[in-house]
Chains A and B, each alone.
Chain A
Amino acid sequence: MEESGKKKLGIALVVLAGIVYFFVFSIPLPKELVFSPTWSLKLSGPLALEAPAQQPAPADASARGQKGQADMAKAPSKPLVSAPFIKGDAAENSGLIPFNFGKLFGYFSRDGKLGFSQGLPYGLALSRSAYVAYDQTPESLVLKGPDGADRLKLNETGYPFYSGERLFMMRPGQNSVAELDSDGRPVWQREFPSIITAFASNPNLAVLGLMDGNLVGIGSKGEELIKFSPGGSRIPGIYGCAVSPDGELVAAISGLDQQRLIVLEKRTTAYRVTFHHWLSSDFRRPVSMAFTPDSRYLVYEEPDGFGIYSRASRSESHVSSWTVKRLGYSLPGRDILLVIEGQGGDRKAVLGASPQGRRMFTVPFNAADGFLAEEDSALFLGMAQNDGSSEIIRVDLREE
């Protein structure tokens, strides 16, 4: 009798524990992230352009976040609305988004109007406000606006490039760089003892990596703010570098045998090393790395995927993936990092990963080259085919 009572009591306790657990410790299922294509803009050749195609019905083409996949390339893309090209002042004021993928570059607007599109030249410096397209041995360098109109001639020798909205000039010899002002005149210029192998900047700091293993930071007036040699490896060298948009962090991948990740943080008077991590990589070429727009995470290329450094936890994690084609994006307003991964041939995907290194979703597409831009809560996915045709799709995000 007593034994039976104990048994009943045990069962009751188990049931009670189950009820408590259900109400207290249960975790609600996460909302699904829905990717809704809004419009597609076909760029059918270097100069033949079409108006955007509105796509009002996203449900059948949406990617179910964290659960499944959706082939964005299958989304219907018939043009429904004819949109005029954006010209003149309208181009400057409309917040055009620059693109550069496949064999084309140009500008488009958030609502799917094409501002300008042109075949890729030998070299291109591209920003939101201007661009310089140039030949291999340019006789002149002309800075143009998003409408394609000439703005000014750069009286410089070298190859221009934009980092954000700052215009720099890589001078002959690859060991000298200058920043140009809005009139095309050098704000500062520096010649370095050895070859420049890496570069990154934010509005106030330009960071250069050199073949001799030095990492140099130059302020907006040309003053030297950082001079640092990571060392620790058998062969010194800087293979990639990045600076956070808020200027608080600078990162570099340095050295060979063994390669390592170095993160410097801005202190009162100088940048100090706050994190370093030995890498399994053995890159002997430029390495891609970038901070997310909110400066919270650093994403860097690794041989079998990419690494993520978290500023808050000062730790790194790894995401296994196919070959990373482009990185440095984050899903607006969410702790999700995005890269474009190449899955062999023309198979590519937008891969979303958590900062902890978990693959969360992939959005596959078929293209020879892919491109991603983000603005507010919208993503813009560019897909270029081998025949020269290209398409940009706007993808809005929402939770369900």
Chain B
Amino acid sequence: MKSAQKELLFFAPYLVAASFLSAMSWPLDAPTPAATFGTFAQGRYLNGMELASEGVLVHPAEEGELVFAYDTSRDSAVLPSTIGSYAIVQHPRDMVGLYAELAAGSVSSAPVKLKTESVLGVAGQSGLTRGPGLFFGVYDRRAGRWVNPVLLLPPLADNSAPAIRSVQLTGAANRFKLGDSKILPQGTYTVSADVSDVLSAAWTRNNAAPYYIRLMIDGEKTAEFTYDVASVREGRLIISEKAPGNIEHYLEADGKLLLAKRFFSHGRSIIELVVRDYAGNESRMSWTLAVQ
């Protein structure tokens, strides 16, 4: 009960924010996430989400003002754009929308005053995207950080719970995959997890990030990450205020999340992992180990 209360308290600000800010609408019809906020791809965290689509019109998620338009067919000689053609829109409450990877030649710097039915461009495939669609990011000017767009948008229908592919304990000389082994030599181990949101788009990034991860060891909350905001710390963009600043302390080379480093002492140990996606679907797994 106490844990549930804490959890409610943790999510309360975002629920409140969502109720106030859900004036935003999805920027294109039939949005199908191909990559979620926080997904680690091409050596960085995605500071927005990719929506798979092609040839459909892209609209502002909320009324606003066009502040910057970049079209690869016109502006690439000035500075190359790895997010392709894009439009930046100043929305109310100092929120800034980034609409990127649009079809080349479809972005113009007019009109300036935008309504939700205005057209920013056409979903396409420009920049370093893996497939056609739209990259949508929301930047909070006041806080100087990126916000997970799902916090501000109407919920999407999604019945697929995120996948917990594996959890591993890595010691100085050995590695144990939970489930395969129930006996663990006493010692210090890092706990890493291979988790992924399950997406149904025609193309997706690998290892789409879930929205929430919690690791419990022997009833104690050992790690908890919420993919809600992204900000720069020491010259690197990091996801979640609670995540370590150094990616190498958070991610293994193969993309698995490094959740904790802990000494496992003689006796019984229970490890529980909870993972939720942006739609609230939850996966929960636990393992009991005999530490010898």
A residues at B contact (CB < 8 Å):
100, 123, 136-137, 157-161, 170-176, 189-199, 211-212, 235-237, 239, 256, 282-286, 288
Which chain B residues lie closer than 8 Å to A161 at the CB level? Answer: 79-80
Query: In the docked arrangement, what's the CA distance between A158 and B42, Å?
Result: 9
* Given A172-B42, A193-B232; A285-B70 close (CB under 8 Å): yes
| 17 contacting pairs across A/B (C-beta < 8 A) | A160-B80, A161-B79, A170-B80, A190-B235, A191-B232, A194-B96, A194-B139, A194-B144, A197-B68, A211-B88, A212-B139, A235-B67, A235-B90, A237-B68, A284-B69, A285-B71, A288-B78
Could you tell me the distance in whole angstroms from the C-beta of A339 to the nearest C-beta in chain B? 15
Which chain A residues lie closer than 8 Å to B44 at the CB level? Answer: 171-173, 176, 191
B192 at the interface (CB under 8 A from A): no
B246 at the interface (CB under 8 A from A): no
Which chain B residues lie closer than 8 Å to A211 at the CB level? Answer: 67-68, 88, 96, 139
Which chain B residues lie closer than 8 Å to A170 at the CB level? Answer: 79-82
Give the contact-size bracket for chain B: 35 or more
Contact mask B232-255 → A, CB, 8 Å, 1/0? 100111000000000000000000
Query: In the docked arrangement, what's the CA distance between A174 and B70, Å?
Result: 12
Contact mask B101-139 → A, CB, 8 Å, 1/0? 000000001001000000000000111111000000001
Task: Check if B68 sits within 8 Å of A285, measured CB to CB.
Answer: yes
Which chain A residues lie closer than 8 Å to B74 at the CB level? Answer: 285
Which chain A residues lie closer than 8 Å to B236 at the CB level? Answer: 191
B43 at the interface (CB under 8 A from A): yes
Could you tell me the distance in whole angstroms from the C-beta of B27 to the nearest C-beta in chain A? 17
Query: In the docked arrangement, what's the CA distance between A283 and B67, Å?
Result: 9
B residues at A contact (CB < 8 Å):
41-44, 46-47, 65-71, 74-83, 86, 88, 90, 96, 98, 100, 109, 112, 125-130, 139, 141, 144-146, 231-232, 235-237
Query: In the docked arrangement, what's the CA distance between A171 and B127, Å?
Result: 11
Number of residue pairs across A and B with beta carbons under 8 Å? 117
Query: In the docked arrangement, what's the CA distance between A189 and B145, Å?
Result: 20
Which chain B residues lie closer than 8 Å to A136 at the CB level? Answer: 125-128
Choose one: B42, B68, B232; the contact of A239 (CB below 8 Å): B68
Which chain B residues lie closer than 8 Å to A175 at the CB level? Answer: 47, 237
Could you tell me the distance in whole angstroms from the C-beta of A231 to the nearest C-beta in chain B? 13
Task: Check if B83 sits within 8 Å of A174, measured CB to CB.
Answer: yes
Query: In the docked arrangement, what's the CA distance between A156 and B250, Å?
Result: 21
Task: Check if B65 sits within 8 Å of A235, measured CB to CB.
Answer: yes
Which chain A residues lie closer than 8 Å to B78 at the CB level? Answer: 286, 288
Choose one: A189, A199, A283; the contact of B79 (CB below 8 Å): A199
Could you tell me the distance in whole angstroms from the C-beta of B125 to the nearest C-beta in chain A? 8
Task: Check if A172 sits within 8 Å of B82, measured CB to CB.
Answer: yes
Which chain A residues lie closer than 8 Å to B232 at the CB level? Answer: 191-193
